[in-house]
Amino acid sequence: MSDDEVDHELLDLLRQKFGLGPGDASAPPETRVLENAQFIYDNSIDVALDMRHTKLAAVEILKQMQEREYSTKTWAEHPLHPKAKDESTLNFIFTMDLLNFSFWSEKSEEERFAVCYRGTRWTGYWSLVAALQRALDEGIPITTPSFWTDEEGCSEDVLKNVFRSETEEEIPMFQGRIDCLREAGQVLDMEFDSSVGVLVEDGKKSAAGLVNLLAERFTCFRDEAIFDGKKVRFLKRAQIFVADLWAAFDGEGYGEFDDIDKITMFADYRVPQMLHSLGCMSYCPPLEGRIRRLQTIEPAHSWELQIRGCSIWAIELLRREILKLQSDANINAILIDFFLYDLAKERERAKVEAIPHHRTRSIWY
C-alpha cells in the first residue's frame, strides 16, 4: 500500500471507535443510556458512589426481594394498575407513561394535588393512574390516541376535569401534559395509524429498538442533555413504558422483548433518594445543602445530570453485585428500580428519616 492509498479497514475501526459515519444496520439496537451513565459517573465531581455500601445493599436487596417474591407479577397486583392483557391495557400504559412526570409539590400532604377514586385518596404518581381510571369510568376515552388530537372533544376544559384535584392545587405542569398528549396523538396518527399497537410492533420485540423509536419520533420522549460537552441520554419515560409493558404482560404478547435487560434504571427522584439512604450515593456539601433546603435545581444543570447518571450506574453496580451473590438470580435493573421505588414509598409512609428528593421541574421525570 502506498502512502497515498486509504486504509479502509483502519478507517472503519476509527469510525466505530469514535461513533463516526453510518453504523452497522444489522447490529442489535442499543439505547446508549448505560454507556452515557458510565460517562457521567466517570466525570462526576459532585456525586459519588460507595462500593462498600453498594455491596452491603446488594445483600439486603436480594434478601428482601426473595422474601417478598418480587417479580413482574408485583406490578399488576396494585389495585390501580390495569389487569387485562389486551390492547386497552397497552393504551392505558402508553398514556400513563406519556404523562408520568413531575408530581412533587411544595405544599403539605393535605394540600397537595390529590385524586379521590373509589373512596381512596391518591397522591404522586398514583394520582395520575387514579385520574386515568376515573376518567375511563366516567366515559371519557382518555387513553385513546385519536381523542387527544380532537381539540373540541378533548378540550382544555375536558382535560381539567380529567385531572381535577380534591384540593386547590392543580396537577403540576398541566400545560406540559396537554402538549405531550397533542404531540403523541399527532405522531401516532401520521406514522402509526393512530395505534400504539403498531408502534410496539415496529419495535420488533426489541426493548432498545422501541425505546429508540420513541426517542426518534416523539420529541416528548427525547430525554437527552449535554454533559461535559457530550450528548447523554436518559430516556426515562421511554424506558419505563417498555418496562411497564414487560411487567404488565408478564413478558408475553405486547410485553415480549428479546433484550429486556438492556433497559436501565429510570432516572428520577425517588431511587436517588433511596440510594442516598442506603449509603450507595453521596453528594458534595453544596449540592446536599441545596437538596436539604428544598431548593430547586434547574433541568440540565450539571448537578441534576450527575444525580441522574450516577443513579443509573449505581443500579447497574447493584445488579452486578447481586449476580455475584447468586448467579441465577432473576434480576435486572427494572426490578431493582421498581423494588427501590416501592421501598422508598414504604419508608416515607413509616416516616423513616431520609434526605429529601431533589427538586427539578421537568417533563422528563
Residue 231, helix vs strand vs coil = strand
- CA dist 114 and 99 (Å) reads 16
- Identify any residues that bridge with 224 across adjacent strands, giving them in sequence order: 233
Among positive and negative, which fits the CA dihedral 180, 91, 309, 280?
A: positive
Place of cell 436539604: 292
- CA dist 184 and 194 (Å) reads 9
- CA dist 266 and 235 (Å) reads 8
In this structure, the number of other CB atoms found within 10 A of the CB of residue 326 comes to: 12
How many residues can be counted in the chain? 365
> Active-site residue 223, yes or no?
no
Q: Which is catalytic among the residues 97, 223, 244, 268?
A: 268
One-letter amino acid identity for 132? Answer: L
Question: Taking Cα atoms as reference points, which of 363, 95, 104 lies closest to residue 236?
Answer: 363
Q: Is the separation of the CB atoms in 87 and 195 below 8 Å?
A: no
Cβ contacts of 261 within 8 Å, gap of 6 or more? 332, 333
Q: What is the DSSP letter of 359?
A: B
Phi, psi of 244 (to 5 degrees): -65, -35
- CA dist 112 and 122 (Å) reads 10
Residue 68, helix vs strand vs coil = coil
List strand residue ranges (DSSP E) for the chain, in order: 47-49, 115-117, 120-122, 224-227, 230-233, 281-283
Q: What amino acid positions are annotated as catalytic residues?
A: 268
